[in-house]
Structure 1
Amino acid sequence: MNNRFFDLDLLKTLVMVVDCSSFTVAASRLHSTQSTVSQKIRRLEAMAGHRLLERGHRDIQPTDAGETVLGYARRMLSLNDEMLDVLAGEFEVTIRLGLPEDFASGRRTTHVLSTFNRRHPRVKLEVTSGLSRDLSKGFDQGELDLVIVKQRRHSREAVACWPERLCWIDSAEAPSCDRDPIPLVAFPPRGLYRDDMIQAMERLGRRWRISFTSSSLSGIQAAVADGMGVSLLPARAVTNQHVIVTGHFGATAVDTMEVVILHRPRADAMVKELAGFLIDMLEQDLDER
């Protein structure tokens, strides 16, 4: 029988190092020293019997074993917090919600979540925003209970789904679409819309180059607004600093994506009720297009 018990403090240290991608920053947030953080990671690796982190020149990435431990660590820490909250009589349940950045920062989403919170004041909402691929991975690993993600149409079964309207956008003040080669502002490789943009340029026979890459939606929006290139984004992400390119350089419409809601079939009733709130929000969004 295996009598090893993983120390939550060590697991918390691993999560913090990965989230910060830095021992130094993690040490600061944990109010500790870098050497102490390093010692805790070594102790955890000895207990797990595997190397958990790959230390690169610029960042820190979990190994395959580290990804496994990280998923369980987040769940164990969440359960620990949930238990403390329940014992304190503050919360009945915690819902871990994942949202793409353009939804997480939207006023409509905030309004929906606040309405749900007022109806269920003893339900704790833990909201994580990020790239859809990371949210999907978190959901699959049990780190999230409910997610809105963007995916290729019909790539996986969902609770509900809607077509994602995409727009080619350019800067309102410093347009880029007449340049040759045309500069493209894109998410990193394997990021949403990047391949669609490149394939569209290839079909049109246009010369192109990636002029700017960012994993942040706000970074993409700002780069386009400042004239660094054109991009392909959801209609909801277009600001007054952008213009929608409707045919200026012949770019055809891209309709390969959809927005979906995912939760597990046996999800808590509160998770399903919140999903209903989000479904109503997305239905309204579709009606207004």
Structure 2
Amino acid sequence: MTVLDPRLLQTFIAVIDTGSFTVAAARLHSTQSTVSQHLARLERAIGFSLVDRAARPVGPTAVGERLATYARRLLSLQEEAIMLLSDPAGTSTIRIGIPDDIVTAQMSRRFSAFAQANRQHRLDVSTGLSRDLSRRYQAGELDIVVVKEPVARAEALASFDEPVMWFESASAAAPLVDPVPLVTFPPGGLYRDLMIERMASDGRRWYVAFTGNSLASVLSAVEAGVGIAILPQSAVRGAAVREQEELGDAPALAVSLYAWERNAAVAALAKGMEEELRATRSN
């Protein structure tokens, strides 16, 4: 199998483009003898004469003309690969796990600002249930994670109170019906467990009327009056819901930030996320 040396192809293209061994040598910052040697090596590898040395200007043979098309493509691909590899953009990945309702416009702008200032780092952001995100972080699958939990662990970089309460549609009628229709996240969701535990402690009958995989779907179901749900106060601003007064408050949760501070970039991004969480929860 013949392997075409890019240096030889570059010399060949320079000769047929300039029509002269001398001019090709000047373009390549080489000598005429080196150009001749390179072209001779390429011709031996191909098994055919590639240029008509007797012509003035020097031109390609029929085989050389065919090879020139592929040579230009190969050289162009080589140049593209070199440029790509010389650009550090996206060569390092920072993996982030975060609950759906924490990915606000302000938090997204934090991510955008970091990415623009640190082009070598690519952000891989995953949203999901806090328990799943916590498990992935502990397994080393995530570099930074924000989770909601009953109590923050000692290794948390920062933790903030997350007031939660029962909400119903703003147009819903009280009192509660029996059994109580619940709008929940999938099994394993922290809010789902809180709702079921409260129903059990109050001795109420209940059923799952709607299960949504995102905050937007759960909130829209509550707005439509499908059922009631425990939700964070910070996530319902502007929504057509109101507090379900008969059930009242629910136990506050902690929004906790954790990071494996393997390098300065991870530490800087975690610090920016902490600032955004603090600003959001102080409003």
**TM interval, short-chain normalised:** 0.5 to 0.7
Question: Which residue type is aligned with residue 150 of structure 2?
Answer: R
Equivalent residue for 2:124, pick from 126, 140, 146: 126
Equivalent residue for 1:233, pick from 223, 231, 237: 231
- Residue aligning to 1:94: 93
TM-score using structure 1 length: 0.63
Indicate how the Cα distance of structure 1 residues 137 and 158 shifts in structure 2: closer, same or farther if over 3 A, else same.
same
Larger radius of gyration: 2
**Unaligned stretches of 5+ residues in structure 1:** 1-84
- Residue aligning to 2:66: none
Partners of 1:179 and 1:148 lie apart in 2 by: 36
Partners of 1:202 and 1:109 lie apart in 2 by: 36
* 2:183–2:208 CA contact under 8 A, matched in 1: yes
Shift of 1:88: 4.4
Partners of 1:255 and 1:124 lie apart in 2 by: 37
Report the count of equivalent residues: 201
Q: State yes or no: 1:278 paired with 2:267.
A: no
- Residue aligning to 1:172: 170
* 1:177–1:230 CA contact under 8 A, matched in 2: no
Q: State yes or no: 1:215 paired with 2:217.
A: no
Please tell me the root mean square deviation across aligned C-alpha atoms, in Å: 2.4
Partners of 1:176 and 1:226 lie apart in 2 by: 15
Shift of 1:176: 6.8
Indicate how the Cα distance of structure 1 residues 276 and 124 shifts in structure 2: closer, same or farther if over 3 A, else same.
same
Q: State yes or no: 1:110 paired with 2:111.
A: no
String of CA shifts for 1:217-269, please: whole Å, max 9, x gaps. Answer: 2221121111110000111221534323152x1x24222421111112x4211
Partners of 1:139 and 1:124 lie apart in 2 by: 18
SS of residue paired to 1:253: coil
Partners of 1:176 and 1:101 lie apart in 2 by: 30
Partners of 1:203 and 1:89 lie apart in 2 by: 56
SS of residue paired to 1:180: coil
Question: Which residue type is aligned with residue 237 of structure 1?
Answer: A
* 1:200–1:252 CA contact under 8 A, matched in 2: no
SS of residue paired to 1:190: coil
Equivalent residue for 1:262, pick from 258, 261, 271: 258
* 1:101–1:217 CA contact under 8 A, matched in 2: yes
* 1:176–1:230 CA contact under 8 A, matched in 2: no
Shift of 1:156: 5.9
- Residue aligning to 1:49: none
Question: Which residue type is aligned with residue 122 of structure 2?
Answer: K
Shift of 1:177: 5.3
SS of residue paired to 2:190: coil
Q: Which range is displaced more, 126-135 or 91-100?
A: 91-100
- Residue aligning to 1:68: none
- Residue aligning to 1:48: none
Shift of 1:173: 3.1
- Residue aligning to 1:192: 190
Question: Which residue type is aligned with residue 265 of structure 2?
Answer: M
Shift of 1:271: 0.5
TM-score using structure 2 length: 0.64
Shift of 1:154: 3.4
* 1:153–1:258 CA contact under 8 A, matched in 2: yes
Partners of 2:231 and 2:177 lie apart in 1 by: 20
Question: Which residue type is aligned with residue 270 of structure 2?
Answer: A
Shift of 1:183: 1.0
Partners of 2:175 and 2:276 lie apart in 1 by: 34
Partners of 1:274 and 1:245 lie apart in 2 by: 35
Question: How much identity, in percent, do the aligned residues show?
Answer: 35
Shift of 1:192: 1.1
